[in-house]
Amino acid sequence: MKKLFVAKKDGERRSKRIVLRVTADEESKVRAAADARKMDVAEFARRAMFGRRADVDHITDAVLALSSITREIRALHAAMVERGLAPPNEALLPVILEARAAILKVADSNATKRA
């Protein structure tokens, strides 16, 4: 069976540390930039220092936002039912279906770009 991870040689291990002083505002901006790219600060900094790409994945962000909206609407619906209130199904269902359609459209668009 092939090993999943292989130990790196001493020269390839990240064992050295660089300390960098920044203002609170700069720290906030760096953390936000790394978070937007789904990276930790160290990886974002390495990419920036060595001129490597660190693109923002807007497609993933859009899908996650749409999924979150859909979950919140469903939670609102469940809370109304739990309290004995009649949820406005005729208003909520089209919103959920539209969000789902948007997720699928973004996913299809992304698959087409990669093909």
Mind listing the pLDDT tens digit for each residue in 25-40?
A: 999 999 998 988 888 9
For the chain, give every domain's residue range.
Answer: 15-49, 58-114
Q: CA angle 76-57-18, nearest 5°?
A: 115
- Taking phi first (over 0 means left), then psi (-120 to 50 degrees means alpha), and beta for anything else, what does residue 51 get? left
Return the pLDDT at 1: 63
Length, in residues, of the chain: 115
Q: Is 36 in contact with 56 (CB distance < 8 Å)?
A: yes
State the Cα–Cα distance between residues 54 and 38, nearest whole angstrom: 10
The number of beta carbons lying within 10 Å of the beta carbon of residue 34 is: 19
pLDDT at 115 over 70: no
Q: Is 99 in contact with 66 (CB distance < 8 Å)?
A: yes
Structure letter (DSSP) for residue 91: H
In this prediction the pTM is: 0.48
| Bigger pLDDT: 66 vs 80 | 80
In tens, the pLDDT along 51-76 reads 998 887 777 778 778 888 888 888 99
The number of beta carbons lying within 10 Å of the beta carbon of residue 44 is: 19
